Amino acid sequence: MPEQGQSGHDRYKALLMGFIDGELAPGERGEFEQHLAGCRECSAELEEFRKLKEVTDMVRFGEPEDKVWEVYWRGIYNRVERGIGWILASVGAILLLAFGAFKLIEGLLVDPAVSVMLKIGVSALLLGVVFLLVSLVRERIFGLKHDRYSREVKR
């Protein structure tokens, strides 16, 4: 049913849509038909919308060819399946690179002569670089995969 607060005539304009599409409840349909009998504006609009419907009913939008649908599901399945693989590979790469970075600066971290601030700063910097590197590599690989898939669909 039309929104509460709609003014009387606006409500009938909305009901007009339901009337054309056969979506009105019997009570609403009766009410609208009663209104229609006495409202020239709505009768004229109804006629216009019916003509419009005749025109738009001729139009059917094309769908992709069957071969596109064949690769469609495979694309989804592969990405679903590989999702957990990507997470594990990323976590592994981050841990290994972080460990490597730690080994690189181990001497600096255990040296009591170096200030704590410097140690934290260098550690954060290296860890940040590791995250960025892994993220960048993932993005590049994903980009390549994505392009390949697009070509496959367009075939």
Partner 1 sequence: MEADHAVVQRILSGEKDAYEVIVKKYQARAYRAALGWVGNTQDALDLSQDAFIKAYRALRRFDTGRSFFAWFYVILRNTCFNFLRKRKRELTISLDFAPAESVATEDEARRAEVKRQVWRAIASLPDDAREVMVLKYFEEMSYKEIAEAVGCPIGTVMSRLYYGRKKLRKALEGFYA
Q: Can you give the binding site for partner 1, defined by CB under 8 A?
A: 1-4, 6, 10-11, 13-18, 21, 23, 48-49, 51-52, 54-56, 58-59, 61-65, 68-69, 72-73, 75-77, 79-81, 83, 150, 153-154
The minimum distance between CB 20 and partner 1, in angstroms, equals 9
Query: Residue 40 or residue 146: which is nearer to partner 1 going by CB?
Result: 146
Q: In whole angstroms, give the CA distance from residue 134 to residue 46.
A: 61
The minimum distance between CB 136 and partner 1, in angstroms, equals 19
Give the residue from 9, 12, 49, 38 showing the smallest Cα distance to 1.
Answer: 12
The minimum distance between CB 42 and partner 1, in angstroms, equals 11
Give the residue from 74, 69, 14 showing the smallest Cα distance to 45.
Answer: 14
Q: In whole angstroms, give the CA distance from residue 131 to residue 129.
A: 6
Angle between helices 8-20 and 40-57 (to 10 degrees): 30
Query: Residue 40 or residue 103: which is nearer to partner 1 going by CB?
Result: 40
